[in-house]
Structure 1
Amino acid sequence: MNETLGRGYARIEAIRAARGEPLSSMPDPVAPPPDQYNSVYLTLFVAGAAFLLPFNSFIMAVDYFQMHYPNTTIMFDMSTVYIASACVAVCINNLVLDLFTYNTRITFGILVSLATMLFVAVCNIGWDGFSTRASYIINLVAIGVVAFGCTVQQASYYGLTGCLPPRYTQAVMAGESAAGFWVSLDRIVTKYGFRQPQRSTFMFFVFSILILLAHTMLHHVMMRHPLVQHYIRLTVESRQKRRIQLHLNPNEDATLMESEATDAGYGVLKLQSPVLSTTGQDITHGEIENSAFSFANPVYSPSGAPVPPSEGAVEPFPDTANSETSSTLRTPRPSYKVEDVVYEPPDRPTSWRAFKRGLAARWAVARAIYPYMVSIGLVYFTTLSLYPGIASEVPSCRLGTWMPIVLMSAFNLFDFLGKIAAAWPYEWSRSQLLMASGVRLLLVPLMLLCAAPRHSPHIVGDVYPILFSVVLGFSNGLFGSVPMIMAPSRVGREHREIAGNMMTLSYNGGLLSGALVSYLLLGMLGPPAGAPCRLYPTPPLPTLPPATPANVSSVIAAVLTADH
Structure 2
Amino acid sequence: MNETLGRGYARIEAIRAARGEPLAMVPEPGAPPPDKYNSVYLTLFVAGAAFLLPFNSFIMAVDYFKDQYPDSTIMFDMSTVYITSACVAVVTNNLLLDLFTYNTRITFGILVSLATMLFVAVCNIGWDGFSPHVSYTINLVAIGVVAFGCTVQQASYYGFTGCLPPRYTQAVMAGESAAGFWVSLDRVVTKYGFHTPRRSTFMFFVFSILILLGHSMLHHVMMRHPLVQHYLRLTNESRHRRRIQLHLNPNEDATLMESEAGDTSYGVLKLQSPALSTATGQAEPETSAFSFANPVYSPTATAPVSLASPPSATEPTISPSAALQTPRPSYKVEDVVFESPERPTSWRAFKRGVKARWAVARAIYPYMVSIGLVYFTTLSLYPGIASEVPSCRLGTWMPIILMSAFNFFDFIGKIAAAWPYEWSRSQLLMASGVRLLLVPLMLLCAAPRHSPHIVGDVYPIMFSVVLGFSNGVFGSVPMILAPSRVGREHREIAGNMMTLSYNGGLLSGSLVSYLLLSMLGPRAGDPCRLLYPTPHLPTVPPATTTAGNVTYLTTALH
The letter for the 1-side match of 2:320 is: N
Q: Which residue of 2 aligns with 1:371?
A: 366
Residues 268 and 333 in structure 2, CA contact (< 8 A), matched pair in contact too? no
Q: For residues 404-443 of structure 1, what are the structure 2 equivalents within 5 Å?
A: 404-443=399-438
Residues 48 and 172 in structure 1, CA contact (< 8 A), matched pair in contact too? yes
Q: Shift of residue 237 of structure 1?
A: 1.5
**In the alignment, structure 1 residue 70 sits paired with structure 2 residue 61:** no
Q: Which residue of 2 aligns with 1:151?
A: 151
* Alignment partner of 1:392 out of 384, 387, 392: 387
Residues 316 and 336 in structure 1, CA contact (< 8 A), matched pair in contact too? no
**In the alignment, structure 1 residue 116 sits paired with structure 2 residue 116:** yes
Alignment CA distance shift 1:237-1:165 (3 Å):
same
**In the alignment, structure 1 residue 49 sits paired with structure 2 residue 60:** no
Deviation string for 1:298-352 (max 9, x for gaps)?
A: 31499xxxxxxxxxxxx9869987287666689987679989x88x9x9999811
User: What is the rounded CA distance, in whole Å, between the counterparts of 1:536 and 1:316 in structure 2?
Assistant: 99
User: What is the rounded CA distance, in whole Å, between the counterparts of 1:52 and 1:109 in structure 2?
Assistant: 12
Residues 299 and 335 in structure 1, CA contact (< 8 A), matched pair in contact too? no
Alignment CA distance shift 1:30-1:134 (3 Å):
same
User: What is the rounded CA distance, in whole Å, between the counterparts of 1:129 and 1:268 in structure 2?
Assistant: 76
**In the alignment, structure 1 residue 482 sits paired with structure 2 residue 480:** no
Q: TM-score, normalised by structure 2?
A: 0.77
Deviation string for 1:170-217 (max 9, x for gaps)?
A: 110000000000000000010111111111100000000000000000
The letter for the 1-side match of 2:141 is: V
Q: Shift of residue 234 of structure 1?
A: 1.0
User: What is the rounded CA distance, in whole Å, between the counterparts of 1:140 and 1:29 in structure 2?
Assistant: 46
User: What is the rounded CA distance, in whole Å, between the counterparts of 1:407 and 1:65 in structure 2?
Assistant: 17
Alignment CA distance shift 1:374-1:279 (3 Å):
same
Q: Shift of residue 151 of structure 1?
A: 0.4
Q: Which residue of 1 aligns with 2:212?
A: 212
Residues 316 and 333 in structure 1, CA contact (< 8 A), matched pair in contact too? no
Residues 93 and 155 in structure 1, CA contact (< 8 A), matched pair in contact too? yes
Residues 299 and 316 in structure 1, CA contact (< 8 A), matched pair in contact too? no
Of stretches 27-36 and 352-361 in structure 1, the one that deviates more from structure 2 is 27-36
The letter for the 2-side match of 1:36 is: K
Q: Which residue of 1 aligns with 2:107?
A: 107
Runs of 5+ in structure 2 lacking a partner?
6-26, 248-253, 260-264, 278-286, 294-305, 311-316, 534-558
Q: For residues 509-548 of structure 1, what are the structure 2 equivalents within 5 Å?
A: 509-533=504-528, 534-535=530-531
Q: For residues 178-217 of structure 1, what are the structure 2 equivalents within 5 Å?
A: 178-217=178-217
The letter for the 1-side match of 2:59 is: I
Residues 256 and 336 in structure 1, CA contact (< 8 A), matched pair in contact too? no
User: What is the rounded CA distance, in whole Å, between the counterparts of 1:331 and 1:194 in structure 2?
Assistant: 78
User: What is the rounded CA distance, in whole Å, between the counterparts of 1:63 and 1:508 in structure 2?
Assistant: 26
The letter for the 2-side match of 1:472 is: L
Q: Which residue of 2 aligns with 1:322?
A: 320
Q: Which residue of 2 aligns with 1:88?
A: 88
Q: For residues 116-515 of structure 1, what are the structure 2 equivalents within 5 Å?
A: 116-242=116-242, 244=244, 278=273, 298-300=289-291, 322=320, 351-515=346-510
3-state SS of paired residue (2:378): helix
Deviation string for 1:199-244 (max 9, x for gaps)?
A: 1100000000000000000000111011111111111112223474
User: What is the rounded CA distance, in whole Å, between the counterparts of 1:172 and 1:347 in structure 2?
Assistant: 33
Alignment CA distance shift 1:246-1:133 (3 Å):
farther
User: What is the rounded CA distance, in whole Å, between the counterparts of 1:387 and 1:530 in structure 2?
Assistant: 23
Alignment CA distance shift 1:255-1:95 (3 Å):
farther
Q: How many residues align?
A: 477
3-state SS of paired residue (1:456): coil
The letter for the 2-side match of 1:97 is: L
Residues 256 and 269 in structure 1, CA contact (< 8 A), matched pair in contact too? yes
User: What is the rounded CA distance, in whole Å, between the counterparts of 1:90 and 1:449 in structure 2?
Assistant: 34
Alignment CA distance shift 1:239-1:461 (3 Å):
same
3-state SS of paired residue (1:451): coil
Alignment CA distance shift 1:322-1:334 (3 Å):
farther
Alignment CA distance shift 1:37-1:528 (3 Å):
same
Alignment CA distance shift 1:330-1:176 (3 Å):
closer
3-state SS of paired residue (1:241): helix
The letter for the 2-side match of 1:527 is: P
User: What is the rounded CA distance, in whole Å, between the counterparts of 1:297 and 1:448 in structure 2?
Assistant: 77
User: What is the rounded CA distance, in whole Å, between the counterparts of 1:267 and 1:111 in structure 2?
Assistant: 53
3-state SS of paired residue (1:208): helix
Residues 488 and 500 in structure 1, CA contact (< 8 A), matched pair in contact too? yes
User: What is the rounded CA distance, in whole Å, between the counterparts of 2:258 and 2:532 in structure 1?
Assistant: 84
Aligned-residue Cα RMSD (Å) equals 3.8
Residues 415 and 474 in structure 1, CA contact (< 8 A), matched pair in contact too? yes
Q: Shift of residue 397 of structure 1?
A: 0.7
3-state SS of paired residue (1:525): coil
Deviation string for 1:451-476 (max 9, x for gaps)?
A: 01111111101111000000000000
Q: Which residue of 2 aligns with 1:559?
A: none
The letter for the 1-side match of 2:448 is: P
The letter for the 1-side match of 2:194 is: F
User: What is the rounded CA distance, in whole Å, between the counterparts of 1:350 and 1:94 in structure 2?
Assistant: 14
Q: Shift of residue 431 of structure 1?
A: 0.6
Q: TM-score, normalised by structure 1?
A: 0.77
Q: Shift of residue 357 of structure 1?
A: 1.2
The letter for the 1-side match of 2:464 is: S
The share of aligned pairs that are identical, in percent, is 83
User: What is the rounded CA distance, in whole Å, between the counterparts of 1:470 and 1:234 in structure 2?
Assistant: 41
Alignment CA distance shift 1:268-1:481 (3 Å):
farther
The letter for the 1-side match of 2:195 is: R
Of stretches 514-523 and 356-365 in structure 1, the one that deviates more from structure 2 is 356-365
3-state SS of paired residue (2:320): coil
Deviation string for 1:332-388 (max 9, x for gaps)?
A: 87679989x88x9x9999811111111111111111110000000000000000000
Residues 184 and 412 in structure 1, CA contact (< 8 A), matched pair in contact too? yes
Residues 343 and 349 in structure 2, CA contact (< 8 A), matched pair in contact too? no
